[in-house]
Every structure is written in structure tokens, then in C-alpha cells.
A and B are shown apart, each in its own frame.
Chain A
Amino acid sequence: MRRKFQYSIPAMTGRLLKIAAPLKGTLLISTLASIIGNLSQMGLMGFGSLLLLSCAGWISAGSPLLYGLLTFVSGALIVICRYLEGVVSHVGAYGLLAHMRVELFRSIRRLAPACLMNREKGDLMNIAVSDVETIEFFFAHTIGPMFTVILLPCVTLGIAIAVDPLFAAVLLPIYLVVSVVFPCIAVKAGRPIGTRYRERLGKMKSLVLESIYGLRDIQIFDFGQKRLAMVQEQNRAINRAAHGLTLHQQTVLAAPAFFVYLARIAILAAASYLAASGISEPAGTIVLSFVAMASFSSTQSLTTVVSSLLETYAAAERLFLIEDTRPEIVECEHPKTCGPIRSVRFEHVSFGYPGSGKEVLKDFHLDVEGNEKVGIVGESGIGKSTVLRLLLRFWNPQKGQILINDIPIQELSLEELHRRIAVLEQDTFLFNCSIADNIAIGKPEASREEIVQAAKKAGLHDFITTLPDGYDTQMGQMGARLSGGERQRVGIARTMLTDPDVLVMDEPTSSLDVLHEKELLKTLQEGFQDKMIFLVSHRPSTLTGCTRIVRLGRL
């Protein structure tokens, strides 16, 4: 099966270079250092052999002292340049990475929440942390060596011509293969291999993540061994991909080295031929032979370039794919302001989740005015939550429109929309910070007093006082210390703290006991008397205060 790639290699290289544009200076220094360092490798061997030759009296020009000095200078330059290249390129590359990582989050932000519903979370993580790090290679280790791969053979060829054109003639095809043909083939052949490996690694991450979050259910049904088998199976898949990857890497390492040996043998053969023809160039042959040996360092660069390019392109492709995904929702350029919300109208709204092919809502009508309290009921999966999500503009309806104060929802800014419409979700997400900060998520500047007030209204205050650090108690990474009801009440306190015009609630009482449910309803009656409320619930008791009930059903 042939994989299709979204982006061509030149296009991606161009894009990566564009990202690197602010770092031109840094990149220039590191590239120069890389080139000088590698040229010095040839200098070291070339001058070293000249030193010996001058001692043996095979050459007349230059003194041993000069060649000795040049050998030393070459050695020193190698060391300095290698250090310089390393430090400078890494400073630049890592600075850039911090930027890219945040940019990626911005992209996800732009696409959220729609994209989060179908992209596996673990995969995103992989892209964010590992893939971005992979791209570091491009900036730190690729650009310099790319020049070297071309430059070193050229210099060797130049010396060869100076010694005898025959040497150049035998070396040229070998260098062409090693510097041009081989890298092209290697990159092309290796691209799908690298992609496959990374993808499978991402899948593994999702698998493990899901297992950890679902550990309780796994334990209930003693499903651990099956999950383990799945992990092992996925691991075998990774291994298969890694096999290709390792062999490819090793070939990329071994084949150019082999070609350099061939080049050195070709020099011997040419020298023999010349000697047999009566032309003796011993000094030139020896210098050339040593310089060719040092050009080995360029093939090592080549290895790095090819294997890192492969991983880089695989990583960059996924990164660009996310960046280029068209968001479901585009913020209006010149948003209108709607003022306090007085009316909400759904007109002939039809909607189906992208990719599902099924229409969830069809020609849906709803007209809500003033401080109406609308209860929405219906079977699970019938589209109750969808109505709320459309009102919050997670998606745009495919047909029809939603009007707020007679302004199409698309013409309002999301900021205003979400400020005026507060939402209480089915499951309240807790962040890994103090419980006070979790309550104040919508109003970070809120005073402790306000937070306590909100918590009291939500029936959470008494619970918080039992926690070891009260309002400053840190929520664990999974918020596992809180029961469903407690989490829900954190969500209620959040909405209490902001002052919205409209309150949208999705099963707000599903995890509350009867006393707390009653408290919440009381709070809603008191605190939201003059506000519009949309309430999805299957509990008749929760729908108590509703002035109108809307029932969703199948045709």
C-alpha cells in the first residue's frame, strides 16, 4: 500500500525555513561553523600527510614547520567549530521550539472544541511534545550538514583535478551517488517508514492513556490481561515499524561509508593505472587519499541529515496538518455587539456531526424570550446537548440559523457570546490547581469573599471546610478526590461567580442528592429569576422551575 502524503518535501522545507526566519543570524553562524569545522577535518588529514611527505622529501614546497602548524590549526578549528555549532544552533533551535509548541496549542485552541471530539488526545500530546522536539533536529543538526554534504566532495574533487583529472573522473560518479542519488533515494524510501513508526507510537500513547483513565472498569471486569495483550500487540506493531526504521538507518549509515571506501580504492586504482602509464604522482595521490578519508565526516553528516529529515518531515507533516485544519468556527471579523440577551431563536436549524453522516437535528425551531426557563428533554443521544452546543457555537448549523436579539450568532464575537451565556456542563473538568482557583476560573480576579459566596450558593462551602487546606486544597491531576456531586458543585460555583444573561445547563443535577438538588433549584430561582435558562435534564424534579418544556423525539 502506498501512503499518500499531504505535503511535498520542498513545500515542507520551505515552511520550516520560514519558521526559522527570525533566527537567520544564529543559523548563519552555526552553518558557517559546521562548514569550517568539516573543511578543517580535511585540512587536518591533508596537512598531516603533507607534513609526513615533506619529511620524506617528496615535496619541495613548504617547510615541515608550516605543515605542522597548519595541522595544529586545523585540529584546533575542528574543536572550536564543533563546540560553536553545537551551542549556537541549540540555543536558536530550542528557543524556536518553545514558540512552536505554544503555536500548536493556539492551533488546537482555534479548532476546539469541535476537533477534540474526534482526534485522539494521546496523539495530540505526542505531536505537541515529541514531534515538536523532533523538529529541533531540523534546525540544530540539518541545515549545516546539508551544505557540508555538497561542499566536502566538491573540495575533494577540486584537489583531484589539481593532481590529475583521472582522479576526478573516477571520484565524480562515486560522489554523485553518495551526495545526490543516495540521499534522494533514502529520503524517499524512508519517509513512510518514519511516519508509520511515529503514528504507531502515538496510538500506543492513546491506548495507555485510555487504560489508565478507565482502570477501574478494567479491574471490575478483570480485563487487564486483555488490555495487556493489546498493549503488547501494539508494541509488536511498533517493533515492526522500528525494524524498517533501524535497517533503513543502518543502511544510510553503512552505504555511504562503503562508497567512501570505494572512493579511496578508486584513487588507488587510478594511481596504479597512472603509475603503469609512467605518470607518477605519489605525493598528490597520498594527499588525495587522506583528504578523501576525511571526507568521510561528510557522509556521517549525511547520515544525520537523512535520518533526521525523515523524522522531521513525519513530525512536521502532522504539525502542519493540525495547523492547516480549517476551524469549524471562524470568529467574525467585525463582530456586532448584542447587548443583554433578550431573545434566542433557532430557525430551521439542521445539524449533523461532521463525519458521522447522520443528521441529529432537522429543521429545528425554538423561540425563547426574556426570562423564560426552557427545559429540554428527550432520549439519550437524541440531540439535547447538541442544541446547547450550537447555542454556544461549538459548531455552525449546516442549515438554518440561530439568532440572538435578532442578530445571527455568527456575527457576534465568541467572547461576548460566552460571557453572556454561561454553561454548566455534564461533567465538570477540574484543573490541577487549588479549589478556589477552580471556582474562579471564569473570573480570576475574584476576591476570596466572592469565591466563598459562590461556593456557599452552590452548596460547596461546608465540604470545602472539611478539606485539609480549605479553599487552598490542590486538586489532584484527576480530581479523583472529589465525588461526581462535588465536582458538579464546583461547576455550579463557577457559573455563580460570573454574571451571565443566559444560563445553559446540561444535566446539572445528575450527581446531586435530593437535598443538594433542592438547594440548587432554590439558588436558580433566587439568583437567576430574571435570566433566561436552558436546562437539559431527565429528572422531573430538576425541571421544576421551567416555564416551558421542549421535547425532542424521533420522527
Chain B
Amino acid sequence: MLLMNKTLIRMARGLWGWMGAIVLCRLLTLVGTASFARTVSGFLGDLTSPAMTLAEAGSAIASALMAAAVILAADLLTGEAEYRCTSKARQSLRTGIFSKALELDVGNIEKIGPVSAITSSVDGVESMQIYYSKYLPGLIYCVIAPFYLFFQLKDSSLPTALVLLAVSLILLPANNLFRKHIESLKTDYWQSMEDLTGYYLESVQGLTTLKLFHQDERRTEVLQDKADRFNNKIMDVMRVNFTSFLFTDGMIYGCVVLAAVTAFCQLAAGSISFSAALMALMLSYSFFGSFRQLMNATHSALAGVAAAEKVEQLLSIDTSRPWNPDLPAEKEPFRGIRLEHISYAYEGRAAALTDISFDIPKSSVTALAGLSGCGKSTVAGMLMRFYDPASGRILLEGKDYISMTPEELRRHIIMVPQTVSLFAGTVRDNLRMAAPDAADEQLLEALDQVMLGDWIRSCPEGLDTQVGDSGSRLSGGQRQKIGIARALLCQAEYIIFDEATSSVDIRSEQEIWHCIEQLAHTRTLIIISHRLSTIRNADQILVLSGGQIVQQGSHEELMKQQGLYGRLVTEQEELEQLGNTPGAADFSPFASHAGKEDMLHA
């Protein structure tokens, strides 16, 4: 079947040489096969004439052995060439896909779904490389081989040779008739596979929740349903596939029968020798070997084409960011970050920020306060340039954000999000993300600052302790602390803490905030915190509500105004007062209760 795919062909750059090599190796096999057939049919034909000498037989056997050895060598070489081709394809495809994935922003990931990205970069690539190593060379070989065999056969039996050539030439186009049908089916197939895969992944990830709510049985039923549906889709594709096989097989084996009959007639008419008749039968049998191999490869190539479409979808996402390096820096730059008339809305949701302007002076602490959903985190995302504002501009020390690449910008400004992500590897690996050259002492110091020093020293492996997949071997608080330590190690001038300590235990939280206060001497901090007591000492506090700044000033100034800030502070104080009633007044309120319920730990 003819499966030409623009995306795959375009991505084949650099692979054609190896594909050519594969075709050459296979042609060499073909030459060996033909010469073997010639030798054997000659020998068998001569067998009937008593004239054959032992010497002749010996040389026939020797040349047959030679041909067999050539075939073996050519086969093995084909394997090596296929490997070279696939390894190159894997590397370039995965690099391309992953590089693209790295450029995606949060919104884009949502659009394509992470599962899709994984399927295309792992399974997809494996099926795509089969297209390059098996299918395309097979196709080229399929076009050349019949002509070669035709010339080998035409002297033995011209009619047979002509019939075989004619059939081999119409086989491909005829098979293509099935293609359209399969094309329409395979989109369905791929979709239901995505559906199943996504659902499966989600079920595994959310399994704890499912079990707790006793929904795992229902989930299993739906899964069963989806698995069945996926199988039906596969069968639809398979059925058409097998029908096309039926057609091709019919043509191929019909031809062999026809060749036998033709050779018989010619032999009966006395127009060809017995040897030639044998040769015709023998070659007709192996004439379509190339097609059978191509048919086998088609099944896998089909998956490759479907995967390529997914990959294409991923690669075609516009990840370009506004970038204009020629924008002149301001002559008298503001020392700090300046936001001018920023507006932004998430796709499909009401405006998150409306015409916001403010300054973040260097070497100061700026805090953002407000109820959840007021736009604090959106401001942080803007400052990190996860998004670009719909209107307005941001200047970093006089340089427009869009005159820098996001990477350049993030050398100056980093962020500790509410939930940090760790990556499989050691604690050291995770810390060194921010400071690749940091010595162990520095790493330990940073861990001390986030109150993980004792813990890491108690681990037998120390800094080499594995954190597990996405940090799954650590508790939520430990993960977050490592994330904060990572930021402390980073040399960026601006650091955003976006609810960074909300999942950290209270004792550590205090220590960490103490550390952050120290940090304020050397860096510019932007702090988002629900705990208003932690931002009390900020140089300026911006209060957001409904995507706009409603109050701005120092704690004292804001407390004087009868506004949202004052209300929030009062509410929180009341709550914390309440919270302290069962214990003492300070942060160790539970010491008095320890006597009542003494928990002892190793």
C-alpha cells in the first residue's frame, strides 16, 4: 500500500542516505537470490541430461554456496543499515519533539494534553522509525526489484516475465484503493487509543481518590467499555487491512499459478528449455517477495503515519513569543521592574487583570495580597513571562520584556510556586538545577535554611538520596522545602515567592521566612502570601481585587485606610487568636498538650 506522508517525508532529512543503503543491501540480496535460482534451475535441468559431469555439478554447488553466502552477508548488512537509520531517526525526532514541548506554556499543554505529547514522543517515534527503516526502503525496493527480475527472467520465458512485471506494476496502485478507507478508519482508531490511554493514565493517577470514594469499580467498567471500543476500532482497521491482503495475495499466487501454466504451455510447444521452465517457476515464486515484505511493514507504517500526524499537530503549535531585540532600552531606566497598563485574560475566562500598573523597586520587598482568584498568581506568571500581556508592557530595568527571550529574562528573575516540581534523581540533582556549580557545603547550608539539614544528615545516602519519580518518595512539605532551598541557591536578582510556604509545617515556615527576610538584604523579593503576618514588613503591599489594584502602600498606611486589607488582617488575627486558644499564645502552643498525648518517635 502506498503510504506517503508529507510530515514524515519532511522529517526524513538526513535519513535518505541510510535508506538508500538499506535499498542497496536488499538489492544485493536480490542479485544473490536470482543467481541462486539460475544455478539451481540450470543444475536441475541438466540433471535430466546424462551428460552432466561431476565437475559441472561441483562448480554449480560452489556457485550456489557463493550466492547463499552473499545473501546472508547482504541480509546482515541490511540489519546494520536499518539500525543506523533508526538510531538517527530516533535522536532527531525525539530531540525535535521534546524541544518543542519545552517551549510550550501552561495554556498549550492544556490544549494538547500531556498524554498526547508522551505518546507522540515515545511510542510514536518508535512507530515512525519503522516507516523509515522498513517501509520507505521497502517501497523503493518494490519499484526496482520487479524490473531487475524481469530482465533476469525475460530470456527464460518472456510471456511469464511480462505478466509478472505487469501485475507487479498494478499491485501498488490497486492496493492504494484501500488506502482511503483505512485513512478514515485510522483517525478513529488513533482517537480511541488516545481516549483509552488518557483515561487509563488518569485512572492510575487518581486511583487513591477513586478507592477512597469506592468508585474504582465503576471506573473499571468504563475502562472495560473504552478498551472494547478501542478493540473494535482496531478490528475495523484490521478487517480492511486483511481484505487488501486478500486481494494482493490473490494476485500474487494467481500469478504463480499462471506462471506455472505458461511455462508448461511454452515447454509443451517446445519454445523453451526445461531449465528455463524451472527457472520461470522458481523466480515467479520469489518475484513478489518484496511485496509481501512491504505488506508486513505497512501495518507498522500505518501507526507511524498516525503518530506523525500527532507530532505534526504538536510541532505546528505556535510557541513564538513576541521578541524584538532592537527595542531601545530607556535612557533613564527605572531601577526595578515596571508594569504599565497590563491587561490579561485566560482563554475562555473573564479578564484576570485589567489595566494594572505598578513598580517593583530593586532591593525592596513587594507583596501582593488579596483573596484567591484576584489575579495575584497571574501577575507572578506575567513577571516570569509564562504569559505575555494582552496589552501593556513590562520593563526590567528599562528593558522591555519582549526585547529579551524568556530564557534571558529568567536569568534575572525566578519563582517558587505553591507546589514545586521535583524530578527523579537525587536531592543533589534537584538542588543543582538552580546552581550547577554549587558545592555540597552550599547545598547543605541551603537545606539547613529550610530546616531539612537534620533530615538529610539522617539519610544514609545523604545528598544522594533518591527523591523518586516527581519527588514521590518525599512528603509534600519536604518537596516544597527542597524547592525553596533550590531558589535560595539561585543567583537571580529577583525572586517571586507565590504561596511558597503554604504546605510547610509551622516551625519550618517561621525559619524559612526568617531566611527570606535575610535574603531581602541582597535580592529583590516579590511575595504572595495568604498569611498576612508574613508580609507585614514588606516595603510596599499591593492589594488586588477582581484583577485590579485596589490598595497600595505599607502595612501601616493600609491599616489606616478602612479597606480590604484591613479587613483581611483583622479576620486573620481573629482566626489565629481562636487557633491559639487550645494551646499557648506563641508558635509552640502544643507543648502543654504534649504531656497529655505523648508521641514518641524514632
Which B residues touch A494, using CB under 8 A?
Answer: 213
Kindly state whether residue B415 has any CB partner on chain A within 8 Å: yes
Which B residues touch A302, using CB under 8 A?
Answer: none
Contact string, B447-476, partner A, CB cutoff 8 A, digits 1/0? 000010001000010000000111011111
In angstroms, Cα B373 to Cα A467, docked, is: 12
Kindly state whether residue B379 has any CB partner on chain A within 8 Å: no
Contact of B80 among A106, A247, A375, A484 (CB under 8 A): A247
B501 CB to closest chain A CB (Å) equals 9
Which A residues touch B418, using CB under 8 A?
Answer: 484, 511
Kindly state whether residue A554 has any CB partner on chain B within 8 Å: yes
Q: Is the CB of B263 within 8 A of A383?
A: no
Which B residues touch A22, using CB under 8 A?
Answer: none
In angstroms, Cα B600 to Cα A361, docked, is: 8
Q: Is the CB of A210 within 8 A of B424?
A: yes
Q: A418-B211, A442-B213 are in contact. Are A547 and B575 (CB under 8 A)?
A: no
Question: Chain B: which residue is nearest A82 at the CB level?
Answer: B249
Q: A257-B71, A481-B110 are in contact. Are A56 and B48 (CB under 8 A)?
A: yes
Binds A, one of B4-12, B324-332, B405-413: B405-413
Q: Is the CB of A208 within 8 A of B209?
A: no
Kindly state whether residue B83 has any CB partner on chain A within 8 Å: yes
Contact string, A168-206, partner B, CB cutoff 8 A, digits 1/0? 000000000000000000000000000000000100111
Contact of B590 among A201, A207, A381, A551 (CB under 8 A): A551
Q: Is the CB of A220 within 8 A of B80?
A: no
In angstroms, Cα B76 to Cα A536, docked, is: 64
Please report which residues of chain B, range 509-560, place their CB below 8 angstroms from some CB of chain A when the two chains form the complex: 509, 530, 532
Contact string, A460-499, partner B, CB cutoff 8 A, digits 1/0? 0001001110000000111011011110000000100010
Kindly state whether residue A156 has any CB partner on chain B within 8 Å: no
Q: Tell me whether chain B's interface is mostly helix, strand or loop, or mixed.
A: helix
Q: A215-B102, A285-B44, A415-B214 are in contact. Are A538 and B532 (CB under 8 A)?
A: no
Kindly state whether residue B82 has any CB partner on chain A within 8 Å: yes
Q: Is the CB of B423 within 8 A of A381?
A: no
Binds A, one of B167-175, B176-184, B195-203: B195-203
Q: Is the CB of A513 within 8 A of B372?
A: yes
In angstroms, Cα B506 to Cα A123, docked, is: 36
Question: Chain B: which residue is nearest A77 at the CB level?
Answer: B253
Kindly state whether residue B142 has any CB partner on chain A within 8 Å: no
Q: Is the CB of A49 within 8 A of B372?
A: no
Q: Is the CB of B121 within 8 A of A208?
A: yes
Contact-residue size bin, chain A (C-beta under 8 Å from the other chain): 35 or more
In angstroms, Cα B79 to Cα A257, docked, is: 14
A-B contact pairs, 23 of them (CB 8 A): A86-B238, A87-B238, A91-B235, A128-B204, A129-B193, A217-B433, A219-B384, A221-B410, A222-B407, A231-B95, A236-B91, A249-B79, A250-B76, A250-B82, A251-B76, A253-B75, A268-B60, A380-B508, A442-B212, A477-B110, A486-B373, A514-B530, A521-B575
Q: A98-B224, A538-B504 are in contact. Are A213 and B114 (CB under 8 A)?
A: yes
In angstroms, Cα B263 to Cα A539, docked, is: 93
Kindly state whether residue A255 has any CB partner on chain B within 8 Å: yes
A462 CB to closest chain B CB (Å) equals 9
Which A residues touch B490, using CB under 8 A?
Answer: 221
Contact string, A275-290, partner B, CB cutoff 8 A, digits 1/0? 1100010100110011
Contact of A377 among B349, B424, B505 (CB under 8 A): B505
Q: A208-B117, A380-B475, A514-B568 are in contact. Are A222 and B411 (CB under 8 A)?
A: yes
In angstroms, Cα B221 to Cα A444, docked, is: 14
Question: Chain A: which residue is nearest B568 at the CB level?
Answer: A514
A364 CB to closest chain B CB (Å) equals 6
Contact string, A504-517, partner B, CB cutoff 8 A, digits 1/0? 00010011111111
Known pairs A56-B48, A380-B477. 14 more at Cβ < 8 A? A56-B274, A75-B254, A118-B473, A128-B200, A213-B421, A215-B102, A224-B102, A249-B79, A272-B57, A365-B599, A383-B601, A484-B418, A541-B572, A543-B582
